[in-house]
Amino acid sequence: MAKTRVTNSIRELRSRGDGMTQQGLAERVGVSRQTIVAIEKAKYSPTLELAFKIARVLDEPVERVFGYGGG
């Protein structure tokens, strides 16, 4: 599976405060832990809906959670 150009700061944002786990985030947004792992490693780009859900759970604007490497 090729890496995407979508970057993210999920791991850093999860580690703030009480240190939300990958499993905890996955449960709150309705996906598997493996999906969160793949997104964090930039091996999978989330749908727009999932990106917004993740940003909402992390209490950050989607632009702070995700970026695009363009090109």
Please, what are the averages of pLDDT over each run of 10 residues along the chain (71 residues)? Answer: 82 90 98 98 95 97 91 56
In this prediction, residue 55 carries a pLDDT of: 98
Could you give the CA distance from residue 50 to residue 19 in angstroms, rounded to a whole number? 20
| Pair 25, 10: CB distance under 8 Å | yes
Contact in structure between 55 and 61 (CB atoms under 8 Å):
yes
What's the predicted TM-score (pTM) here? 0.89
Closest CA to 49 of 32, 64, 40, 62: 62
CA 40 from centroid of its chain's CA atoms: 6
Q: Are the CB atoms for 65 and 13 separated by under 8 Å?
A: yes
In the prediction, which pLDDT does 17 show? 72
